[in-house]
Structures are given as structure tokens and as C-alpha cells.
Amino acid sequence: MLLNMNIPCFIHFSERLVSPLYSSVPTTTTATVRCSRADNIAIEGRNLNFSFTTNQAKAVPILKDCSLRIPSGQFWMLLGPNGCGKSTLLKILAGLLNPTSGTVYVNEPKSFVFQNPDHQVVMPTVDADVAFGLGKFNLTNDEVKSRVSRALHAVGLSDYIKRSVQTLSGGQKQRVAIAGALAEACKVLLLDELTTFLDETDQVGVIKAVKNSLDTSAEVTALWVTHRLEELEYADGAIYMEDGKVVKYGNAASIRSFIEAKQSFYIKQINS
């Protein structure tokens, strides 16, 4: 349960995060957004609601009373039908949108990794891109090189350190984006359907890179939005949404069984 505290949560983001991409989505400033500290909890939201107002001044609800709680050091996935509110919830956790109401806490520093890596990978070479966000820290050249090296090792790209970004596949670019977040000592990764446009080889490479990142640092937590049930085998836990609501969350196996049972029921109804 979230604690009621009067300390505002000041959000920190990497400069590589391009928030104007979401400027077309109206937000409100009436929400109560506070920090709370819970032992071993990296992400926590309570009774989150989000609506936007149309040109006809009609409020359209997107999220409806959503609550979730994700332990530190774990890899969780967020699933649900198209339009159910998954990406909106992720953007609220990232601080890109303000909830209409509710409370949210996400451990910091945190980083949002885009579905399209070309929105985030901006430098000409791999090492330069991973080091891009480190300019705001007072680091020596040796410290920068060390962070870049460790981050690339975590995502399996140590041999690509001097490669031109233009020569990389989509999955490799995604891994570079993840490495950039890790180099900044990111504690929470918020990942928006990273495998949507990737081939099967790149899909596996990206998801294993995230899993390995958590295995190499107990302080990193990840929440991954996906629509692929097969990706649940890599997750510690999962959340299933429908119609703007969190319907069920728990261990990955139970969520997969729950979704498969719903799919089977729908198929039987269609065929009956």
C-alpha cells in the first residue's frame, strides 16, 4: 500500500528521451503524484486514472483505477489487447503523462526505451551513443569508458563498441538504447513493445539483453509492454489489462494460463 507523504517526486530523465513525441496527448495537472518508499518495491501505482478531453469537451477515460506493485530486481511484463491502456500506463510511470488521479512511485533514476530505436539512438557510433547521457555527470574519461564497456557487456554488444550505428539491425539498436540507460546507472527500465518490428532473431536478442541486465545487477528492475505470450517465459511476473483496467497480476506462468484460458473461451464462443 502506498504511504501518504507530502514530499513531491522530482522526476529525472536521460536527455535522450524525446518527450515531445507525446505532446498531442492532453494531460491534466490535478493529479496527486507523490513519492513513497516501500521495502524492495521498485514500481508502485495506486488507483491510477487517466482521461483526455476531446475538442467537444468530452472526457474520454483511458485508465480506470489501475493499481500495481513490482518488486526490485525483477523483470515484469504488461499485456493486454490493443487499446487497453498499456502504453498509457507505461508513460505515466515514466512521467511522460500525468495521471488524472491516483498515486505513483517509481525508483530512480529511470529510463524509457522507445518502441522505435531510431527515436532514441542518436549518435554515429555505438560507444558514443551509450556515452551520450553521461555528459551530465562529473566523470573522468576512464570512468566513462568503464561504464560504456560494462553496459555493452550486459547487453552482449562488447564487440560492437566502435561500430557505426547505421550498420546495426533494429534489435542491435534496441540493445544500444538499453545499454545507454544502464550506463547512467538506471534502476528502472520502462520498455515499450521493443520487439514489435523485429525479426525473430532480434526479438530473442533484445529480450535476453534485458534479462541479462537484471541478472548482472540486482538493482535494476524492468517493466516490458508486449503482446507476445511466448515472451512471458523470460519474466518473473506479469500484469494483464483490459478496457483500461488491471484485471490480474502475478507470476508469469499464472498470467499466461489466464490469458490462454480467455482465448480458448472466446474461440469456443465464436465456433459455437
pLDDT band of 218, cuts 50, 70, 90:
confident
Provide the whole-model pTM: 0.81
| pLDDT the model gives residue 24 | 29
Query: What are 210's three cell numbers?
Result: 534485458
| pLDDT the model gives residue 15 | 37
| pLDDT the model gives residue 18 | 34
Q: pLDDT per residue over 118-177, tens digit each? A: 888 989 999 999 999 998 899 999 999 999 999 999 999 999 999 999 999 999 999 999
Q: pLDDT per residue over 68-109, tens digit each? A: 999 999 999 999 999 999 999 999 999 999 999 999 999 999
By C-alpha distance, which of 150, 118, 138, 134 is closest to 14? 134
Residues contacting residue 256 through CB under 8 Å, at least 6 positions apart: 229, 232, 238
85: left (phi over 0), alpha (psi -120 to 50) or beta: left
Report H helices in the chain. Answer: 86-94, 126-130, 141-154, 170-183, 200-216, 252-271
Mean of all residue pLDDT scores within the chain: 85
Contact 235, 223 (CB under 8 A): no
pLDDT band of 188, cuts 50, 70, 90:
very high
| pLDDT the model gives residue 119 | 85
Question: Distance between CA 26 and CA 231 in Å, rounded?
Answer: 32
| pLDDT the model gives residue 198 | 85
| pLDDT the model gives residue 14 | 41
